[in-house]
Amino acid sequence: MKKYLVLVFVSFIGVILQTSLFLEIFGPKVNPNIVFALGFAFLFSNKQKYALRTALVSGVLLDLLSFNVVGTTSLFMIFSFYASKFIQEKFFKGIGVLVFLSIIFFTIYKMLYGLGGATRVPLDAKILIGSTVSTAIALIGSGLIGMYLKDLKD
């Protein structure tokens, strides 16, 4: 139970940082997606259950604070995690494919939902930079999960 409360708390802090502080610092196109990065960090660490739980909790919180339709972010994140793991297990092995797929899914998410909902945006360099920064945050988070949460069972 304690693990889940910590997960909800970290997700809540990530959503608050993403929708307020980082949005002002980085701007809407380069703003790293902290919540999505947390989920991919669990995925990089082979903790699929925690990645899906993060997607569920964080996605709903992010939708509420971003004025998106509730559940769309969670649905997209869950699809991204399942698709990434499926492609990694069936076609390509190693973490490199997950890193590449995370950049792709971060970019697609940013183009669909990242700038406040209803408006779709064309692909440009700032969106790719934001996606790469989000993937770097996920890789750092994966290392931290490996160091501090080794006993976390999936």
Whether 120 and 111 have beta carbons less than 8 Å apart is answered as yes
Q: From CA 112, how far away is CA 55, in angstroms rounded?
A: 17
Report phi then psi at 127, rounded to 5: -65, -40
Instruction: With respect to residue 131, please indicate whether it lies within any of the assigned structural domains.
Output: yes
Instruction: Give residue 150's pLDDT.
Output: 67
Instruction: With respect to residue 38, please indicate whether it lies within any of the assigned structural domains.
Output: yes
Instruction: Give residue 21's pLDDT.
Output: 87
Instruction: With respect to residue 153, please indicate whether it lies within any of the assigned structural domains.
Output: no
Instruction: With respect to residue 26, please indicate whether it lies within any of the assigned structural domains.
Output: yes
Whether 91 and 84 have beta carbons less than 8 Å apart is answered as no
User: 100: domain range?
Assistant: 2-148
Instruction: With respect to residue 68, please indicate whether it lies within any of the assigned structural domains.
Output: yes
Residue pLDDT, tens place only, 111-121: 777 555 545 66
Instruction: Give residue 91's pLDDT.
Output: 87
Domain count, the chain: 1
Instruction: Give residue 124's pLDDT.
Output: 78
DSSP secondary structure, the chain, as one string: -HHHHHHHHHHHHHHHIIIIIHHHHH-TTT---HHHHHHHHHHHTT-HHHHHHHHHHHHHHHHHHHTPPTTHHHHHHHHHHHHHHHHHHHT--SHHHHHHHHHHHHHHHHHHTTTTSS------HHHHHHHHHHHHHHHHHHHHHHHH-TT---
Instruction: Give residue 121's pLDDT.
Output: 65
Instruction: With respect to residue 45, please indicate whether it lies within any of the assigned structural domains.
Output: yes
pLDDT < 70: residue spans in the chain: 1, 114-121, 150-154
Instruction: With respect to residue 50, please indicate whether it lies within any of the assigned structural domains.
Output: yes
Instruction: Give residue 99's pLDDT.
Output: 87
Q: From CA 80, how far away is CA 78, in angstroms rounded?
A: 5
Instruction: With respect to residue 57, please indicate whether it lies within any of the assigned structural domains.
Output: yes
Q: From CA 57, how far away is CA 121, in angstroms rounded?
A: 26
